[in-house]
Amino acid sequence: MIKMKILEVKNMTKRFGGLVAVDDLSFKVEAGSIFGLIGPNGAGKTTVFNSITRFYDPEEGEVILRTQDNEIDLLDYKSHQISGLGLARTFQNVELFGKMSVLDNLLVGAHNNIKTNFLIEGFRLPGFKKHENKAKEKAMEILNFLGLKQSAYQFADSQPYGVQKLLELGRVLMTEPEIILLDEPAAGMNDSETDELSDLLLKIRDEYNLTIFLVEHDMGLVMDICDEIVAINSGKSIMHGTPKEIQASSEV
């Protein structure tokens, strides 16, 4: 059985002046998998994420996204268009609207999927209420899935750090993605929170039928849940394989 590759990075190179941050990097992410990108600080991991999601413009290469409906080169799109194509991401630092409620932070993620126009929204016509109610229902379902339903109407910045990280995951799920990119999802978490996150990511993958691509320094989490891993250093790939193969590599 041939398995579909949902994301393919081909010969990506990104420079900052004389510094080559990503150097002719290529890899493929299999649909339905959990895929890890690892390497030391400064290896270029976040630069790869930022290039895939169009915050940076690589000088060379392609980033091919294959979904049920399309095969496209993400480098042909702007950063604000990416989430509408079936790919969404989180960031290293928590990026929430602190004085908005937990629920409203999730509703922000539904923006691209609410098909209205200025008149419908401005006058709050019946079509707007229908879409708004549907989005709220979905947001509450996701909060319940994450175990955060009781916090729906509390301010986001009043929540513990671990909950705020979960809120970012929930907002990503609201975009109805096919693949999610998680930049250090376990950063700042203690051991028990990291264990719970491992279980949650597996559950999200299975219940939402998603592909997960993550950058992470916690090797316990990476080795426990990833199907395949690419290790990079100085922007170059040094190994691509299963967790067992990565662990057995003297170079890694």
CA distance 101 to 42: 35
Q: Is residue 127 part of a domain?
A: yes
Q: Is residue 189 part of a domain?
A: yes
Query: CA nearest 208: which of 169, 161, 251?
Result: 169
Same domain, 117 and 154: yes
Strand, coil or helix: 183: strand
Same domain, 52 and 115: no
Same domain, 109 and 219: no
Model confidence over 28-77: pLDDT tens digits? 999 999 999 999 998 999 999 999 999 999 999 999 999 877 789 999 99
Q: Are 171 and 105 in contact (CB under 8 A)?
A: yes
What pLDDT was estimated at residue 1?
43
CA distance 44 to 84: 26
What pLDDT was estimated at residue 130?
74
Same domain, 77 and 182: yes
Domain end residue (candidates: 146, 176, 206): 176
Which structural domain, as residue segments, surrounds residue 183?
Answer: 1-86+178-252
Q: Is residue 55 part of a domain?
A: yes
Same domain, 126 and 228: no
Instruction: State in Å, rounded, how far the first CA of the chain is from the last one.
Output: 30
Q: Give alpha helix (H) positions in the chain.
A: 45-52, 102-108, 118-122, 126-146, 161-174, 191-207, 219-225, 243-248
Q: Is residue 39 part of a domain?
A: yes
| Helix %, strand %, coil % of the chain (to 5) | 40, 25, 35
Same domain, 151 and 217: no
Q: Is residue 197 part of a domain?
A: yes
Same domain, 82 and 146: no
What pLDDT was estimated at residue 120?
53
Burial 109-144 (b: 16+ CB within 10 A, else e): bbebebeeeeebeeeeeeebeebbeebbebbeebbe
For residue 80, report the phi and psi dihedrals to the nearest 5 degrees.
-75, -10
Q: How many CA atoms lie within 13 A of 93 on its CB side?
A: 2
Say what angle helices 126-146 and 161-174 make with each other, to 10 degrees: 130
Domain end residue (candidates: 149, 176, 203): 176
Q: Is residue 139 part of a domain?
A: yes
Q: Is residue 91 part of a domain?
A: no
Query: Could you say which residues of the chain have pLDDT below 70?
Result: 1-3, 111-128
Residue in the block written with tokens 């299999």: 30
The number of domains in the chain is 2
Same domain, 68 and 112: no
Same domain, 74 and 186: yes
Domain end residue (candidates: 134, 157, 176): 176
What pLDDT was estimated at residue 80?
87
Q: For the whole model, what pTM was predicted? A: 0.89
Model confidence over 174-193: pLDDT tens digits? 999 999 999 999 988 888 88
What pLDDT was estimated at residue 125?
57
CA distance 91 to 165: 10
For residue 37, report the phi and psi dihedrals to the nearest 5 degrees.
-120, 115
Which residues share a beta bridge with 27?
Answer: 9
Same domain, 115 and 189: no
Q: Is residue 65 part of a domain?
A: yes
What pLDDT was estimated at residue 218?
92
CA distance 14 to 23: 7
